[in-house]
Amino acid sequence: MNEPMAPYSRFVVDGFDANALLGVVRDTRFEQRLLAAGHFRACVQRLVFPRFSLDSGAYTLPIFASGCFAEGMMALAMAVACPQPMWANGRWIGLGQVMVFAEDTELNVRPSPGGWQWAVLLIPRDVLQRAALLRVGRELRLPQRGWYSRPVCPADAGSLCYGVNKALADAASWAGMVTPAQWEALADFVLSVFVDAVSASDTGPERRAGGTWMERHRDTLVRRAETYLKAQLDRPFDSRALSLALGVGERQLERLFRDAFGHGPCQWHQLARLNLARSALQHSGEGDSVTEIAGRFGFSHLGRFSGLYRNVFGECPRDTLRY
């Protein structure tokens, strides 16, 4: 039986909702946390072809996203728009760098403040290599495990960004009225712009997949610190206890968190609690109250909680609960 023709989908999240953003990349769960105050809006688009998929999202505010790509699929990713370098798995990634992830690799990413658009192609390794042989006459140098990022020259980076946006715009304009031949041509086009970008960036000296020892060490420390703090969300932040638990100086932890999240561990702790409280308010059950939910996440002073919540999410907790 033939596979169904690939669909195009688009949805908008107006106001931060972590649950609504969980599946922004196909067959994955990326936990996302808002990192800056203001009105959040996301537009997410998806193209699903018979053997691979393309996801793209445009966000108005920085978030921290953490998760693993779809099982058994390679991921080719790029920041289509990002004012400044973004932090990914312990490394700073500039605009125009292609990221190539081996199967089942984890990604922890934070964009710089300002608008951010990303694109992710999920594809089986053999499908990608066959396309490369047809397109450029050779297989690509792909990581067997972990990931790598490499700069792409401005022309190739621009072609990839243009290709992603053109493919999404074309699919949106068809509004479901499309022939199989058009979908096949669109699939070939999407795959070709990614193959061109990766092949143009993989001819230089190969960098060890997963980054340097220092990058991996920094990322491991941040992950350990997150795990510790997540277990303390119902308690006041204790910088000394965090430092002792990790065996790392408080100043070093402050620097690591500012690289990874744009703020220190104390604000991480506070924002994490506020994000969890928002999710609980958005998906509350009958009988839940703002006071009960605030107390659940360690906010004992309701007025202070309401002020912090309003500053980050732009609305009062009771308005979220009503919504």
Do 128 and 266 lie in one domain? The reply is no
Q: What is the pLDDT of residue 200?
A: 87
Residues 282 and 170 in one domain: no
Q: What pLDDT is recorded for position 95?
A: 79
Mean pLDDT for back-to-back runs of 10 residues, the chain (323 residues): 62 92 93 88 95 95 90 93 86 86 92 86 97 95 90 84 94 84 94 93 57 76 88 88 92 88 89 91 83 90 91 89 71
The residue segments making up the domain with residue 108 are: 8-201
Whole-number Å distance between alpha carbons of 304 and 321: 17
In a domain, 119, yes or no: yes
Shared-domain flag, residues 223 and 190: no
Total domains, the chain: 2
Q: Do 125 and 171 belong to one domain? A: yes
Instruction: State the pLDDT at residue 211.
Output: 59
State whether 42 and 85 are in the same domain. yes
In a domain, 207, yes or no: no
19 with 154, same domain: the answer is yes
pLDDT of 205: 45
One domain, residues 217 and 151: no
Residues 30, 54, single domain; the answer is yes
Q: Which of 160, 178, 201 is a domain's end point?
A: 201
The domain boundary, picked from 201, 230, 263, lies at 201
Q: Are residues 56 and 194 in the same domain?
A: yes
Q: State residue 6's pLDDT score.
A: 47
Give yes or no: residues 242 and 191 share one domain. no
Residues 61 and 171 in one domain: yes
Res 77: pLDDT: 94
* Inside any domain, residue 1: no
255 plus 283 within the same structural domain: yes
Angle made by CA atoms 161, 144, 189, in degrees to the nearest 5: 30
